[in-house]
A and B are shown apart, each in its own frame.
Chain A
Amino acid sequence: MPRPQPEEITFTIDGREVQAPAGLMLADAAKLGDVDIPVFCYEPKLGAPVGACRMCLVEIEGIPKLQTACSTPVRDGMVVDTTNDRVKAAQESVVEFLLLNHPLDCPVCDKGGECPLQDISYGWGRGESRFVEPKRHFQKPVELSPLIAIDRERCILCYRCVRFSQEVSEDYQLVLHERGADTFVGTFDGHPYSAPFSGNIIELCPVGALTSQAYRFRARPWDIEQSGSVCTMCPGQCNVSYTVRDDRVQRVLARDNDAVDDGWLCDRGRFAYQGAYVDERVTRPLVRVDGQLRPVSWERAEQEAVKLLGRSDGDGHTVGALAGSGTSNEEGWLLRRILTETLGSRDLDSRRDGALSAGLMAALDAPEAQATVEDLQYAHAVLVLDTEPVDDMPIVDLRLRKGHRRHGVRLMVAGSRPSSLDPIAEHSVRFAPGAGEAFVVALDAAIGGVGDVAGPAAAAGADPAAIEALAKDLREAGEDVVILWGERLTAGAPAAAEGSDPGANAARGLLKIAGRLGLTDDRAGAGLLQIPSSGNGRGLREIGFLPTAGPGYREPEDPGRDARGIAEALVDGELTVLHLLHADPLRTHGDRDLWQRALGAATGVVAHAQFLTEGILEHATVVFPAEAGAEKEGTVTHPDGRLQRLRPAAARPGEVRATWRTLARLLVALGGETSALTVMMVTAEIADAVPFYAGITHDEIGGFGVRWQERDAAAAFPQGETGPFTLDAPRSAASSNGALRLGTFRSVWSTPDVEHAPALRFLTPRQRAELHPDDARERGIGHGQRVRVSTGDGGAAVRAVAHLRQSAPRGSVFLEAGLAAESADAVSGPVVLVETERA
């Protein structure tokens, strides 16, 4: 969809001639002439202006009434006065009106000192009130949610929070009750406001009416400093600003970057900082002595680690490594060097499940097929394929809603589990859990109009008519189509016995679809965008933290083992040591049984971790305390190729040291060479090794990041090698045969950082089994009933609460993975039995 390209116009404001893009709202255009027009309700991020607060009234030549600058687009030759007596009187009036019922309790208000109402009262108010009546009173403060306190007396009813809930996050929970002077903000049913993005309303509130429960009374604006960085908890990599007092993070605010996050944060990104300051955090190196992890000195821990890693059994390497969310490019790079250069191992993985060839990954990540986050909002159509954005990369959920609401983007969803986007999606096609491959093959046939749709559709457990309808609309939607797809689509190891390689086949199918829709032709605004399974998945992929690819997708001479291969090798004794960088396979990787055996069999496990999660607590031999996000320096790469910079904002507590430095020391101790004295020098090593990162520096990345595709070095991106373009017959989805197909998902809340942040702990999910009411009825299961999900052969079982969803597909049951207890990883499908729990 063509993006607006406004022409420059000239208008006059307070006697000054100012150039501005046509159509810009006067309130914003005035800033270009250094004129400040006060606003309360106006916030461009919230969409079209509402003109409710009336603070921005200005006089425009030729219009008799005063106009709201927030809703008046500038036109060439417009003459605006913001300072004459008439305007001044109106501004003073509005300030007086707003303060009538405001308690003026600034000395005890968290907002005091950074409060637009204070600033505007000082700047544009009369300085006195004639109001002698009793003020409006409410009970205060009350909990709007466990995260947010609401003080309704301070509220000036600007509507911002309600508009956010109604028009941005579309959770529709906040409403205005009553009317006129009795109006107040609350949730429709009086329940707490609980939604993934609720914290944004704290930042939106222009007064102290909505305050953060976690930040209340922690600091005043003159005690704090703001420090910009990037959140690495998920692939969204939102730009954040840490509020720091006494070297500790007290609060996280959004740092608007339209190309990444549009100025919003999810609640996990906003509140999980608390986990850095809890007693459970590992702040000293630990070594297992007599079965117990005991604090030791750094030197001792490093010696132990070198001893474990460097142990060679003569004829082969013994170490495998996994890198998880939160790993920076530099950390990944150094660990990769340790394995490949000093230990001779290629057994390293940053993907969760299954490996793709370097050539296939290069084809999927090719610059000419790359869509950006901003493209999602202007595309003609977006296909959300096998991913649930609100869980996998929360911030793009808001972007998709924005595109749909404001730019008419046609949204199409294809996945196994009901999506929160279904209500606004034109198509919601379901396929059986794990049958992404078959679905892609069917969709490709439908879009191409050649080949069999019904066969692969049946294999996918999907409705062929729905696939045909989706294909037709994708084909006809327009030139700019973006496919937002989840790494899960290409998961799954090759099955040598069947001669199938479902992950690769799905990737090839996806590329064929992209080719048919013209997404691989270097067309701006169209392309593919992959949501990786870990926060810096793309960066780790591009530096070669993979068994199948070297730096810059170089094809390795002989590929190593992927995550599952590493686990199996540990079980078989082919590997004996596991190096875990911000990963605990019992939490982050599926198949709990396999990993438990693998960790049990390992003779040594070296871990870099913030928390002693189950796998690390029970199996780690050496634990290095890891930095929290706000303490880390380095770079990460966004799913659309934007390199972003992590800047340390807060001090590292206890004895925590920088992980990159620890890895560099291990590298040298194991006989490797590095001249890196600073993180930047590690970044330089990466820039030398990854051709399309060539010459990149921290300075160039700057505050808002730089997409490598937009630099000259992008020309050095390797040619993709997709392999044969004839698709294999896809594997059929498991036949349920009386049982239910098991699907898993990871919600945004199922991570250790949520469990360890006191503010967020109430959101820690408990296992629930989602299934269709008819499937439930057949099994005599009611909503809310306790159930047992098992493979039925006497193996492990997961206890859950039945959650019946009309929109769930028949024949499937969904469990949440990544939980600390009763996680879906305990049962390995593909089909399971769901029974009511016997007392």
Chain B
Amino acid sequence: MSTKLLFEDIDEPGLHTLDVYKRRGGYLMAEQALAMAPDSLVTSLKDSGLRGRGGAGFPTGLKASFIPQGKMDKYLVCNADESEPGTFKDRELMQKNPHSLIEGMIIAAYAVGANKSFIFIRGEYAQQATILEDAIAEAKAAGYLGPDVLGKGVELDMWVHRGAGAYICGEETGLLDALEGRRGNPRLKPPFPANQGLYQGPTLLNNVETLTAIPYILRVGAEAYAAMGVEKSSGTKLISVSGNVKRPGNYEIEMGMTGRDIIYGLAGGIEDDREVLLWFPGGSSSPVLTKDDLDVPYDYEALAGAGSMLGSGAIIVADDSNSVVDIAVKTASFYKHESCGKCTPCREGTNWTTKMLLRIRSGEATPMDLDVIESVCDQIMGNCLCVLGDAMAMPVSSMVKKFRPAFEAHIERARRDAEQRLLASLESDHGPESILEGIGAGAPQH
């Protein structure tokens, strides 16, 4: 079931250098593509059924076809701000096989007529950024980039831009603002980047994996690629498996493999052979699934059918030694910390939810707070400027819904523990009588 396409040569020593990459057939597809009509490349992308690998799963060919025709400055931006917790596939691609990304970008840029391209990489990926910069320099020197790509009269320049470490800059319009040198806040859509993106110009924005897949699609042919996987989720997908599994890491799978085959097959099962408590199928923003959902096929439609999503393809597995309350707190805190604060529901809702969850964890809550959490999550979902608010509301709300008894049990236990702790601390300090005296006297004793 494990079909290697993007990862075919991934462990080839020196693949990040132009020599090795070319020896493995690198840049042949770019040369071939530049001899074709741009339209036919877009058609090929459509035929391949490739869908955006960043998280939203929007058909790549369709997105490319939105870029207006005509002679003007058009931009291609690669989203390498891989910031969804649990996702580390782009990191490996850029580190080990940067030229395939560059080649994919050359083809994509040619297909939509873009003459300027940017790779927006998260600041933490310093090593990968350096590798990319070196690879771009090599590609420029070899004539794959520059004013006259491969002597075909096509202009394409490429820059690497390092982010400053904000999750919101992985949101496409937030990324564009950050790239323009402004505070990384998402923009109102419409207008969509295809019409008014970077510097108000037409902009095609794609994830690293999406762009890297393009040369491989051309190599095997759009039809062969479409034949891989399942009907509406064609091709292969890189998945990052992490959490309580025996063999965490990146794997390339054909769409449609079951969660069980991934977690127990590729990733070798759960540590200490414990049970799955819950798993995030598509990064920390996807609604959680439980061990009952392990046989759901791993593709866009099936996961949506199961009430979750494929997202960025990051599977995070938590075994039954974990507390769902801790997981909820961790998830909510992350999104609260990363909310840009521009729109009301996300700014206030993530903050409020986090505060309630912290109260639940410390034993200062009642089960009614769970109702408020669910209601607040409902109030966030669908009402925000971008999807960051939903990214917190979806998993948190799914955890509360699916593990309500566990939450209630924790509330009761934590409340009692807190009570005990308080009494014990007071007893050791002053004894219970002094507390009562203190209350009676109306003045604190310490």
A residues touching B (Cβ–Cβ < 8 Å)? 48-55, 57, 65-66, 68, 71, 89-90, 93-94, 96-98, 100-101, 130-131, 133, 156-157, 159, 175-176, 178-183
Contacts and interface: CB of A to CB of B under 8 A. Distances in A.
Contacts of A55: 344
A180 B383 contact: no
Contacts of A96: 379
B338 A93 contact: no
A181 B341 contact: yes
Interface stretch (B127-135, B257-265, B352-360): B352-360
* Interface SS, B side: helix
22 contacts: A48-B188, A51-B343, A51-B385, A55-B344, A66-B382, A68-B188, A71-B188, A93-B379, A93-B383, A97-B347, A98-B348, A100-B351, A130-B372, A133-B356, A157-B341, A159-B342, A176-B341, A180-B336, A180-B338, A181-B347, A181-B351, A182-B341
Given A97-B379, A179-B338, 5 more contacts: A50-B188, A52-B385, A65-B382, A94-B344, A98-B344
Contacts, number: 91
B339 interface: yes
Interface string B339-376: 11111110111111001100100000000000010010
A100 B341 contact: no
Nearest to A134: B355
Contact of B343 (A52, A66, A90, A131): A52
Given A66-B383, A180-B347, A133 B341 contact: no
A179 B339 contact: yes
B384 interface: yes
B166 interface: yes
A136 to B, nearest CB: 8
Contacts of B344: 52-55, 94, 97-98, 156-157
A217 to B, nearest CB: 29
Contacts of B349: 97
Given A52-B343, A133-B356, A97 B348 contact: yes
B24 interface: no
Contacts of B342: 50, 52, 157, 159
Contacts of A50: 188, 342
Contacts of B341: 157, 176, 178-183
Nearest to B182: A166
Given A50-B188, A54-B383, A54-B385, A133 B345 contact: no
Given A97-B345, A97-B348, A176-B183, A133 B339 contact: no
A57 B375 CA distance: 18
A156 B344 CA distance: 8
B44 to A, nearest CB: 31
Nearest to B385: A51
A54 B343 contact: yes
Interface of B: 166, 168, 183, 188, 336-345, 347-352, 355-356, 359, 372, 375, 379, 382-385
B355 A133 contact: yes
A131 B354 CA distance: 12
Nearest to B371: A130
A52 B389 CA distance: 13
Given A93-B383, A133-B356, A183 B347 contact: yes
Contact of A179 (B166, B188, B355): B166
Residue among A65, A90, A133 with most chain B CB within 10 A: A133
A176 B177 CA distance: 15
A97 B389 CA distance: 13
Residue among A54, A89, A131 with most chain B CB within 10 A: A54
Contacts of B166: 179
Q: Which 10 A-B pairs have the closest CB atoms?
A: A181-B351, A93-B379, A97-B348, A183-B341, A180-B339, A51-B188, A133-B355, A180-B341, A97-B344, A52-B342
A94 B346 CA distance: 10
Contacts of B339: 179-181
A96 B183 CA distance: 27
B384 to A, nearest CB: 7
B317 to A, nearest CB: 28
A100 B352 contact: yes
A170 B183 CA distance: 16
B47 to A, nearest CB: 28
B276 to A, nearest CB: 32
Contact of B359 (A54, A93, A133, A176): A133
A97 B342 CA distance: 13
A157 B348 CA distance: 11
A133 B343 contact: no
A691 to B, nearest CB: 50
A62 to B, nearest CB: 15
A133 B352 contact: yes
A305 B193 CA distance: 72
Contacts of B352: 97, 100, 131, 133
Contacts of A130: 372, 375
A54 B188 contact: no
A305 to B, nearest CB: 62
Contacts of B375: 130
B354 to A, nearest CB: 9
B129 to A, nearest CB: 23
A742 B109 CA distance: 56
Contacts of A49: 188
Contacts of A51: 188, 343, 385
Contacts of A54: 343-345, 383-385
Residue among A130, A131, A179 with most chain B CB within 10 A: A179
Contacts of A182: 341
A627 to B, nearest CB: 47
B269 to A, nearest CB: 38
A98 B183 CA distance: 22
Contacts of A48: 188
A261 B320 CA distance: 67
Contacts of B340: 179-180
Contacts of A176: 183, 341
Contacts of A159: 342
A54 B340 CA distance: 15
Contact of B348 (A66, A68, A100): A100
Contacts of B359: 133
Contacts of A183: 341, 347
A172 to B, nearest CB: 11
A89 B380 CA distance: 11
A55 B382 CA distance: 13
Contacts of B351: 100, 180-181
B124 to A, nearest CB: 17
Nearest to A158: B344
Contacts of A133: 352, 355-356, 359
Contacts of B168: 179
A179 B165 CA distance: 13
A43 to B, nearest CB: 14
A130 B382 CA distance: 21
A182 B350 CA distance: 12
B110 to A, nearest CB: 30
A94 B383 contact: yes
Contacts of A101: 348
Nearest to A94: B344
A52 B382 CA distance: 14
A182 to B, nearest CB: 7
Contacts of A94: 344-345, 383
A96 B349 CA distance: 10
A51 B351 CA distance: 20
A552 B352 CA distance: 68
Nearest to B338: A180
Contacts of B384: 54
A181 B372 CA distance: 19
A597 B75 CA distance: 68
Contact of A57 (B337, B348, B383): B383
Nearest to B335: A180
Nearest to A100: B348
Contact of A157 (B183, B347, B350): B347
